[in-house]
Structure 1
Amino acid sequence: MNAELIRIGDDLVAMHAIVTDAGITLVDAGLPGDRRALRRALDAAGRSLTEIRGVVLTHGDIDHIGVAEWLRAEHGIPIHVHEADAARARGEEKSHAAGGAWRLRAILQFLAAGLRRGALRPRHVGEVRTFRDGEVLDLPGAPEIIGLPGHSPGSVAVRVPAVDAVFVGDAITTRNVLTGVAAVAIGPFSDDPGQTPGSLERLRSLPERRMIPGHGPIFEGTAARLIEELAGDR
């Protein structure tokens, strides 16, 4: 299968397109104001919104569902999320987890990006399709779901061997949006951060060489290396 990974957004908040001959899968959906960025990225690749076959959410928080409802309601694109985070994606539940330590400059940068990209006008997803741990979805790139509870009950890793990548959502950050610290660490605003290291062990033997967090630059290395860096930082 010919497959290409396109990163849309930046190291503060990003979504990713898996572009294949059979169509496109989006992993996460950025912020509500990212419609234009999505169109531009697909145009640059010679592709279009009509080729998106589904959106796979790593979890249901508002900075990951940004354009999902627009894609669903106006373009008929299904939104997939773990069953334990379905209510969160629909806006029926939300996290009350504390973010932890912060630095003013990093906070202001994150807030400014959020304001520019519509974070204060979130649109929850009106209807979702749910999946469970271990499923391989019938979408371009054949994304495999690996449960990573900790950040939220339904947090998952999305493994896509066709692009040599594992998307880990907010289980891990490589640049903390609250502090600006560039290091492998447990993502802030986690419901149960103590659960995350154990969940990550499920990824240790995977061969993929790109670990992609929801916030921060792509980690170039295997899951085993990512886990070792996390352990060394704690």
Structure 2
Amino acid sequence: MQLAPGLHRIGNDIVAAHLLVTAEGITLVDAALPGHYADLRRELDALGRPVTDIRGIVLTHGDSDHIGFAERLRGEVGIPVYVGAEDADRARGAKPPATPRDPMKLGPTIGFAAYGLRKGMVRIPPLKEVVPVADGDVLDLPGAPVVIGMPGHSPGSIAVLAPALRAVFVGDELTTRHVLTGVEGPQPAPFTDDQHDSSVSLGKLRGLDVDWVIPGHGAPWRGGPDALIDAYRAAEAARV
């Protein structure tokens, strides 16, 4: 699905990954779930691009629903996988810590679980090799993505800024659709290691000159980050 020229989405508001498409090649941001590999191939076929045009995969963090088919592309095609240094072990299969209990509603939670099962959530191969990245790194990949350190959801969470596409990908540092409640709009994401740090990290997005703020779960936000953060703060305050 094309969001804008050069900016494509696979998946849906439950789980998504994104492609930065340039003449020189493609950068994949996150790898969703294993079953999204077929969606990726369909998107590439529609673009008339081979999978070998993907030059790198940049993970916003190392959680299982973001590493999905990354090891398949790394192992079969040799595509490097980049992840925040503090999440390298998580991407390689280390068990994340228990997180505080999140609000949930039965219907959306069952829907999330059922979708995950259909897309292979129970069997997600960990990465065997990763390339650690840090805040401020400009990656030598199509679209010249810039790494913004965003600890909170996980220690190594990052945002991925694509200046040429006027987009920033924020992973699970926030969500615009809570997978456990179905509530829509900017808000804290579930399964967050440290909600306080996550909230503080969002301040790094203020003032970015972008048209899109794109989470891993929920609808892409069309507009600048300041209004999104204000809406997030309101939702955050309502939860207290």
User: TM-score over 0.5 for the alignment?
Assistant: yes
Q: Which moved more, 1:32-41 or 1:64-73?
A: 32-41
Shift, 1:99, TM fit = 4.6
Question: What secondary structure does 1:54 align onto?
Answer: strand
Mark the CA change 1:95 to 1:63 in structure 2 (over 3 Å): closer, same or farther: farther
Shift, 1:43, TM fit = 0.5
Shift, 1:92, TM fit = 2.2
Q: Kindly indicate whether residue 71 of structure 2 is the aligned counterpart of residue 69 of structure 1.
A: yes
In structure 2, distance between residues paired with 1:190 and 1:231: 16
In structure 1, distance between residues paired with 2:97 and 2:216: 16
In structure 1, distance between residues paired with 2:22 and 2:211: 19
In structure 1, distance between residues paired with 2:141 and 2:199: 29
Runs (4+) of structure 1 exceeding 3 A deviation are: none
Where does structure 2 lack aligned partners over 5 or more consecutive residues? Answer: none
Provide Cα deviations, 1:97-120, integer angstroms capped at 9, x if missing partner. 135110000011101110100000
* Matched-pair contact (CA < 8 Å) for 1:23–1:52: yes
- Residue number in structure 2 paired with 1:222: 224
TM-score (norm 1): 0.97
- Residue number in structure 1 paired with 2:107: 105
Question: What secondary structure does 2:123 align onto?
Answer: coil
Q: Kindly indicate whether residue 203 of structure 2 is the aligned counterpart of residue 192 of structure 1.
A: no
In structure 2, distance between residues paired with 1:111 and 1:98: 19
- Residue number in structure 2 paired with 1:156: 158
- Residue number in structure 2 paired with 1:43: 45
Shift, 1:76, TM fit = 0.4
Shift, 1:95, TM fit = 3.4
* Matched-pair contact (CA < 8 Å) for 1:16–1:28: yes
Shift, 1:65, TM fit = 0.1
Where does structure 1 lack aligned partners over 5 or more consecutive residues? Answer: none
Q: Kindly indicate whether residue 59 of structure 2 is the aligned counterpart of residue 57 of structure 1.
A: yes
- Residue number in structure 1 paired with 2:214: 212
In structure 2, distance between residues paired with 1:140 and 1:84: 24
Provide Cα deviations, 1:97-147, integer angstroms capped at 9, x if missing partner. 135110000011101110100000111100000111110100000000001
Instruction: Choose which of 4, 13, 16 in structure 2 pairs with 1:14.
Output: 16
Shift, 1:232, TM fit = 1.7
Question: What secondary structure does 2:28 align onto?
Answer: strand
Mark the CA change 1:120 to 1:70 in structure 2 (over 3 Å): closer, same or farther: same
Q: Please, what is the CA RMSD of the aligned residues?
A: 1.2
Identical residues among aligned pairs (%): 52
Shift, 1:46, TM fit = 1.1
Instruction: Choose which of 119, 122, 145 in structure 2 pairs with 1:120.
Output: 122
In structure 2, distance between residues paired with 1:86 and 1:69: 13
* Matched-pair contact (CA < 8 Å) for 1:99–1:178: no
Provide Cα deviations, 1:144-201, integer angstroms capped at 9, x if missing partner. 0001111000001100011111000000000000000002111110000111121111
